[in-house]
C-alpha cells in the first residue's frame, strides 16, 4: 500500500524496496487495485518484470471504488470480470496467484462473487481465491457455498492483526484453523503505532495514512489515548526483552499458530531493513503473558482498527422498525 502516491511516489525507490525484499527471501508480494488508484500495481508490475514474476506469489485485491462511476466497484460478476483484466494489465502478468475480495458486500450474493472467481480460476487468470477483513460468518458462508454449489474454495483470509488490534482472536482465527485457511494479516505494526515513532509527549508523526483514516490517529479520542498508553508499556517491555518494538510486534503476530505470514508495508528501504530480522525472533512465555496483560486477548482498543464494520452496526435503519417509527 505504501508504493505510489499514498506512500512513496518514487517508482525507482519502491522497486528497489521490492527487489531487496526478494533478495532477503520474501516471496509473497501483496497489493490491491485501490492502492494509489492502481499505481501500486503498476509499480509491482515493473518490479517483477524480466523474469522475477515466476519466483513470486503475487496477490492483489478488488472491491473498492476505482472511480466515481458506481459500476467501477464492488463484488459483482460484472465488475470482477472487468477489474481482473485491469489488474493483469497493470501488473504486467498473465495470471494472479491470489485474487482477494477486499471487503464484504452484503448487497451482492457471495455465490455470485465466488462463481465469477471460480470462472477466472478455470480460465487460468487466477490461481486461488482469498478474502480480506471478512466477518467469521462470511468466512463460513464461503466454505458452505464452495461445498454445496461446486465453487472454487476460498483458501485464505487477510484480516487486521496486531498487539493493539486482537479482535480476530475471538472467532476469525479459530474459524480459519477449523477450515484450514491461510491467514496473512495486514497492519501488524498497527498502522505505524508499533513502529517506535509514537511516544507520549512527542509530536505525532504526519503520514498519508493518518490523513485517510484520522479516526485511527486522532488523540482527541479516548481510544487512541488508550493505544498510546499501551504503546508506552509495550516499548518498556521490548526494552526489557532486548528487542526493538518493531520486532516485538511482528514476532507477536507470527507467534499465533493460525498465522501463515505477516504483511509488512515499508515505505522506505530503511523501514524494510528494520523489519526483516523479526522473523528470527521468538518471544518467551513470560513476554507473551506481559503482552496479554497490557492488551487482553481478543481486544481491539480502537474499533476503527478492525478495518470493517458491518452495515448492521453502521446503518441505523437496519436496527429500527419502520412500522413503529422508532
What is the C-alpha to C-alpha distance for residues 166 and 305, in angstroms, rounded to an integer? 10
In a domain, residue 235? The reply is no
Any domain includes 44: yes
What is the pLDDT, as a whole number, of residue 12? 98
More confidently predicted of 114 and 198: 114
Which residue range forms the structural domain that includes residue 165? 11-193+246-311
Per-residue pLDDT for 21 more than 60?
Answer: yes
Indicate the pLDDT class of residue 324, thresholds 50, 70 and 90. low
232 part of a folded domain: no
Q: How many domains does the chain have?
A: 1
d(CA 171, CA 254): 18
Q: How many CB atoms lie within 10 A of CB 152?
A: 18
Determine the 3-state secondary structure of 257 from DSSP.
coil
The confidence score (pLDDT) of residue 37 equals: 97
pLDDT at residue 265, as a whole number: 95
Q: Which three cell numbers stand for residue 219?
A: 488523540
pLDDT for 212 equals: 76
Q: What is the pLDDT of residue 197?
A: 85
Q: Is the pLDDT confidence value at 108 over 60?
A: yes
Lowest mean pLDDT among 207-211, 260-264, 276-280, 306-310: 207-211
- Residue 153 is classified by DSSP as P
In a domain, residue 154? The reply is yes
Residue 233 lies in a domain: no
pLDDT for residue 252 is more than 90: yes
Cell numbers describing residue 153: 474454495
- pLDDT score recorded for residue 203: 74
Using one digit for the tens of pLDDT, what is the confidence trace for 120-164? 999 999 999 999 999 999 999 999 999 999 999 999 999 999 999
Contacts of 236 (CB under 8 A, 6+ apart): none
Structure confidence at residue 249 as a pLDDT band (50, 70, 90):
very high
Residue 222 within any structural domain of the chain: no
Q: What percent of the chain has pLDDT over 70?
A: 97
Q: Select which of 35, 99, 128, 161 is catalytic.
A: 35
Kindly report, residue by residue over 223-237, the tens digit of the pLDDT.
999 999 999 999 999
Predicted local distance difference test score (pLDDT) of residue 323: 57
pLDDT in tens, 184-240: 999 999 999 999 888 877 777 776 677 778 889 888 899 999 999 999 999 999 999
- Cα–Cα distance, 127 to 131 (Å, whole number): 14
What is the average pLDDT score of the chain? 95
**Which DSSP symbol is given to 38?**
G
Q: Is 161 a catalytic residue?
A: no
Indicate which CATH number applies to the domain containing 142: 3.20.20.100
Q: What is the pLDDT of residues 29-85, one digit of tens each?
A: 999 999 999 999 999 999 999 899 999 999 999 999 999 999 999 999 999 999 999
User: Does 150 reside within a domain?
Assistant: yes
- Whether the predicted pLDDT of 325 surpasses 70: no
205, part of any domain: no
Amino acid at each position: 500500500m505504501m508504493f505510489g502516491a499514498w506512500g512513496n511516489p518514487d517508482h525507482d525507490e519502491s522497486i528497489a524496496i521490492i527487489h531487496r525484499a526478494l533478495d532477503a527471501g520474501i516471496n509473497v508480494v501483496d497489493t490491491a487495485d485501490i492502492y494509489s488508484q492502481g499505481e501500486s500495481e503498476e509499480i509491482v508490475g515493473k518490479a517483477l518484470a524480466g523474469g522475477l514474476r515466476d519466483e513470486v506469489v503475487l496477490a492483489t485485491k478488488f472491491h473498492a471504488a476505482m472511480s466515481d462511476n458506481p459500476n467501477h466497484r464492488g463484488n459483482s460478476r460484472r465488475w470482477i470480470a472487468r477489474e481482473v483484466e485491469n489488474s493483469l494489465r497493470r501488473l504486467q502478468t498473465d495470471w494472479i496467484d491470489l485474487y482477494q475480495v477486499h471487503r464484504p458486500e452484503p448487497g451482492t450474493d457471495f455465490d455470485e462473487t465466488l462463481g465469477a472467481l471460480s470462472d477466472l480460476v478455470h480460465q487460468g487468470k487466477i490461481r486461488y481465491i482469498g478474502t480480506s477483513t471478512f466477518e467469521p460468518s462470511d468466512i463460513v458462508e464461503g466454505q458452505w457455498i464452495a461445498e454445496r454449489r461446486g465453487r472454487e474454495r476460498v483458501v485464505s483470509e487477510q484480516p487486521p492483526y496486531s498487539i493493539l488490534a486482537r479482535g480476530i482472536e475471538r472467532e476469525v482465527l479459530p474459524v480459519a484453523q477449523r477450515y484450514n485457511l491461510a491467514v496473512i494479516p495486514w497492519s501488524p505494526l498497527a498502522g505505524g503505532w508499533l513502529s517506535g515513532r509514537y511516544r507520549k509527549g512527542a509530536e505525532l508523526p504526519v503520514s498519508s495514512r493518518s490523513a485517510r483514516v484520522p479516526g485511527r490517529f486522532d488523540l482527541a479520542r479516548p481510544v487512541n489515548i488508550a493505544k498510546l498508553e499501551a504503546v508506552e508499556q509495550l516499548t518498556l517491555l521490548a526494552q526489557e526483552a532486548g528487542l526493538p518494538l518493531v520486532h516485538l510486534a511482528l514476532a507477536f503476530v507470527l507467534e499465533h499458530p493460525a498465522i501463515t505470514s505477516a504483511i509488512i508495508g515499508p515505505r522506505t528501504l530503511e523501514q524494510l531493513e528494520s523489519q526483516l530480522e523479526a522473523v528470527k525472533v521468538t518471544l518467551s512465555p513470560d513476554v507473551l503473558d506481559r503482552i496479554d496483560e497490557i492488551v487482553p486477548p481478543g481486544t481491539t482498543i480502537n474499533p476503527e482498527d478492525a478495518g470493517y464494520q458491518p452495515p448492521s452496526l453502521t446503518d441505523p435503519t437496519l436496527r429500527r422498525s419502520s412500522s413503529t417509527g422508532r
